[in-house]
Structure 1
Amino acid sequence: MYHILSGMRVVECASFIAAPSSALHLLQLGAEVVRIDPVGGGPDFRRWPVSDRGDSFYWEGLNKGKKSIAIDLSRPQGRSLAVDIITAQGDGAGLFVTNFPRNGFLSHEALSLRRTDLITVRVMGWNDGSQALDYTVNAALGLPYMTGSAANGADPVNHVLPAWDLLTGSYAAFALLAAERFRRETGRGQEVLVPLSDVALASVGHMGQIAEVLIDGDRPRQGNDLFGAFGRDFTTADGQRVMVVAITARQWSGLVAALQLGDAIAALEAALGESFVRDEGVRFRHREALFSLFEEAIGARPLSALQEGFEANAVCWAPYRTLRRALDEDPRFSTDSNLFTTLDHPSGHRYPAPGAMASFQGVSREAVPRAPHLGEHTDEVLAEVLSLSSARIGELHDAGVVSGAAR
């Protein structure tokens, strides 16, 4: 948690991963984030993984440090109140992150009538406005047919990590900061559209995969082979599985030295008329011949001996293990680092929560705040953002337009 963006207030009205993670990134760099929640919680309020009593670890992970105001958005008075909060005045305000549809009461056109310099960052599914999630975009784009191996036949293989949600959240935060700078220079607000489908399509294009498929056709499945370079999983003498990668010439030379394969590799290079040191693509083209040498060498060594040789030669590798083992065994993944703060969460559980992923030199990193209870900051937001009196706030509670903390 840093204070680099202090003075900036972002209002969030969103659910799931992309838009809430966007506001979370901004918060962890110092922005105040006011989250407008439906009374009783939105569609992700109970989303898995959940605690033993049904509280969402997912929700409290994505909403750390945010202020929650619970409003009945099904009622005209509640929608009007939400609009008041989104369009409230202030130099650092007028910043809105949402994944609601473009039309309706949260349309930028309607909101900007109340504040002309409003910046709306709208996370979308498809770029035509139709609904989509990470997994449906990924399926439609074809990546599940690149994932897996020949053993999967014609069956698609989904990836466990929602890459487009995470990338879209990060890009939306970046886009909001760009729009905010533009507003400071010109005084003009705008709506910024960030569709998952455009993030996915642009990302594969940036990596050369659109050019590849247009020129060479669809990429076949590679299993656990690293595409375009030397890399694959191997099994050690004591049955441990490791991932070994050699992209650079230094990584390749270190790997060959660690496994004492210099003579065998030189003989293969002579037979093929190739050099594996200079071009990672050559290693990929001849990976089957290389894999047999490495399978034998790695398979003859226990993990402990392999690790010693790999570390001595700066090999790029990692053992396969579960997330729990990674947290327990690898100090690089330690939750005792200053990336984490151990908190008592709304779920009633105490566990470490991560903060800002970047480390800013010369700037103090502070503790991560916990996620709010639903509606925990209702009265505070109404009083501080809208300057409502305690009597008026009480009337809104009595009418059921807003609610306080649901504990």
Structure 2
Amino acid sequence: MSGPLEGIRVIEIGTLIAAPFAARMLAEFGAEVIKIEAPVDGDPIRKWRKLHEGTSLWWYLQSRNKKSISINLKSPQGIAIIKRLASKADVLIENLKPGALEKLGLGWDVLHALNPKLTMVRISGYGQTGPYKDRPGFGAIGEAMGGIRYTTGEPDGAPARVGVSLGDSLASLHAVMGALMSVLRVKTGQGLGQVVDVSLVESVFNLMESLVPEYDLLGHVRERSGGALPGIAPSNTYPTRDGAYVVIAGNSNPIFKRLMLAIGRADLAEDPNFAHNDGRVRQVALLDAAIAGWTSAQPIESVLATLEQAGVPAGRIYSVADIVADPHYQARDMILSAELPGGVKVKMPGIVPKLSETPGQVNWQGPALGAHTSEVLAELGLGDSEIQRLRDEGVIQ
């Protein structure tokens, strides 16, 4: 492994989305990530969504660059192995229910005593404290209680969800930030390891902009607005003649003028009532109707070409087919070619962000269950006979 996180060892005790996605990002930039999986079935994501020859394609992506070791955490010997791993690790990431690791004898007090420099990243529905901490929490619940579901959807419809696991992924991003801040503190000698407490609900809530002060000071409750951006105008989704949709953001003062001139509405461009955002918001329906009237009269490519020439931010709404075929995605190495077991080639997403000197890389796809168990245990100093004994006793797979 190489990259800016080379030399950082991460232990992942997590399943499905939040903790594994966070660990994946660290692995893509050079961290050695050792993923702990239960024997027999492993991480449930191995069977989630679309499968190829019995294994989830999501698994191959979510666990790339990770080492899989299969350990029975119901065994005292298995717990002893986790302690030995944690004693040599920089970060442990988990997304079990609060208190679960403590019941296993792997709580913060225990691990911090073993390794004072260890950072423990704990992802849960509601956080490690508070009256809701023991409630089960999934990303969908985080989206609901974090405020984003209430504001998503058509004004006259039910709250909608985004088509991906947004709450989990937002928690993953916060987990990575917290882990890196804590590791930096340790590596620069400013202090010891600490707990990074990440809540799914709070990770979503952190994105909700001025929602709270608008409510507290003005009594305003932000409602669902379809494809529009409330309080910022014009910014919406508009239909085109060929059945496609285009998102147009003409919401800064100079961009608004350029947009109006591009659609042949010089009268609106020069109207002093629309010189600033607050004036445009007051008559957003008029502006949206003018823009939609223009976009719906021509095909999407013509709309995009005109707006690009005018310097107006605009983009068609992409399906996955559009993404894979797009030359910009390809030029940015955002569509990579991967090889699955048996030599099957498949396209996978590239790595974000792009670092100029130490870019992330993909070294292998999600491994078979327990593929690295012997290797990792041997690095801990266990001999072949001891590893075989643990295997025979069902401690490892």
- When the two structures are superposed, what TM-score results if normalisation uses the length of structure 1? 0.87
Shift of the alpha carbon at 1:217?
3.0
Q: Tell me, in whole angstroms, the C-alpha distance in 2 between the residues paired with 1:359 and 1:261.
A: 40
Q: Aligned letter for 1:98? A: E
How far apart are 1:288 and its partner, in Å?
Answer: 0.7
Contact 2:69 2:371 in 1 (8 A): yes
Q: CA 1:363–1:111 in structure 2 vs 1: closer, same or farther (change >3 Å)?
A: closer
Aligned match of 2:304 in 293, 304, 307?
307
Partner of 1:118: 118
Match of 1:41 in 2: 41
Matching of residue 160 in structure 1 with residue 159 in structure 2: no
Q: Which residue of 2 aligns with 1:390?
A: 384
Mapped to 2, the partners of 1:300 and 1:73 lie a distance apart of 63
Question: Residues 8-37 of structure 1: CA distance to partner in whole angstroms, max 9, x if unpaired?
Answer: 111111112221111111111111111111
Residue 296 of structure 1: aligned partner: 293
Partner of residue 149, structure 1: 154
Paired position in structure 2 for 1:235:
239
Match of 1:140 among 142, 145, 160: 145
Task: Say whether residues 1:180 and 2:183 are aligned partners.
Answer: yes
Quickly say closer, same or farther: Cα 1:378–1:283, change in 2 above 3 A: same
Alignment of 1:34-73 (within 5 A): 34-73=34-73
**Residue by residue, what CA displacement relative to the aligned partner does 1:78-121 show, whole Å, maximum 9, x if unpaired?**
22222222223xxxx34211112333222111222322332211
Measured in 1, the distance between the counterparts of 2:164 and 2:278 equals: 27
Structure 1 residue runs without a partner (length 5+): none
| Counterpart residue identity of residue 382, structure 2 | L
Counterpart residue identity of residue 161, structure 1: V
Q: Deviation at 1:377?
A: 0.3
**Are the counterparts in 2 of residues 355 and 368 from structure 1 also a CA contact under 8 Å?**
no
Q: Deviations over 1:284-340 (max 9, x none)?
A: 221111122222222222333323311211221112342223322x21233x74345
The partner residue of 1:218 within 209, 218, 221 is 221
SS at match of 2:206: helix
RMSD: 2.3
- Counterparts of 1:83 and 1:365 in 2: how far apart (Å)? 29
Shift of 1:187: 5.0
CA contact under 8 A between 1:340 and 1:368: conserved in structure 2?
Answer: no
- Tell me the secondary structure at the aligned position of residue 347 of structure 2: strand
Match of 2:347 among 349, 352, 365: 352
Q: Report how far residue 355 of structure 1 moved.
A: 4.4
1:156-213 deviations in whole A, cap 9, x for unaligned? 2222233332222112112112212222314522222111122223332xx1111112
Given that 1:65 and 1:371 are in contact with CA atoms closer than 8 Å, whether structure 2 keeps it comes out as yes
Name the counterpart of 2:394: 400
In structure 2, how many angstroms separate the alpha carbons of the residues matched to 1:262 and 1:233? Answer: 22
Letter in 1 for 2:201: S
The 1:248/1:349 distance shift into structure 2, 3 A limit, reads farther
Q: Choose 13-22 or 103-112, whichever is displaced more.
A: 103-112
What does 1:22-33 correspond to in 2, within 5 Å?
A: 22-33=22-33
Aligned residues: 385
In the TM superposition, residue 236 of structure 1 has moved relative to its aligned partner by: 2.2
Q: Residue 146 of structure 1: CA displacement?
A: 1.7
Q: Distance in 1 between matches of 2:210 and 2:18?
A: 24
Partner SS, residue 45 of structure 1: helix
Q: Distance in 2 between matches of 1:327 and 1:372?
A: 25
C-alpha contact 1:4 1:29 (8 A) present in aligned 2: yes
- In structure 2, which of residues 168, 176, 201 is the aligned counterpart of residue 197 of structure 1? 201
For residue 277 of structure 2, the aligned residue among 280, 283, 288 is 280
1:97 pairs, out of 93, 96, 106, with 93
Distance (whole Å) between structure 1 residues aligned to residue 305 and residue 116 of structure 2: 63
- Check whether the contact 1:121–1:194 (CA below 8 A) recurs between aligned residues: yes
User: Contact conserved, 2:28 with 2:361, CA < 8 A, in 1?
Assistant: no
Q: What is the DSSP-based 3-state SS (H/G/I as helix, E as strand, rest coil) of the residue aligned with 1:224?
A: coil
Distance change (3 Å), C-alpha of 1:343 and 1:297: closer
Matched residues in 1 for 2:190 and 2:313: separation?
Answer: 48
Paired residues of 1:341 and 1:368 also in contact (CA < 8 A): no
How far does residue 47 in structure 1 lie from its aligned partner after superposition?
Answer: 4.1
Moved more, 23-32 or 234-243: 234-243
2:388 counterpart letter in structure 1: G
Q: 1:20 to 1:36 in 2, by over 3 A?
A: same
Structure-2 change in CA distance of 1:356 and 1:142 (3 Å): closer
Q: Is contact 2:304-2:315 (8 Å) kept? A: no
The alpha-carbon deviation at position 397 of structure 1 amounts to 1.3
Contact 1:126 1:197 in 2 (8 A): yes
Contact kept? 1:2, 1:28, Cα under 8 Å: no
Deviation readout 1:66-87 (Å, 9 max, x if unpaired):
0011111222222222222222
- Write the distance in 2 (CA, Å) between the matches of 1:187 and 1:146: 41
Q: Which amino acid aligns with 1:211?
A: P
Gaps of 5+ in 2: none
Q: Is the 8 A contact 1:346 1:372 kept in 2?
A: no
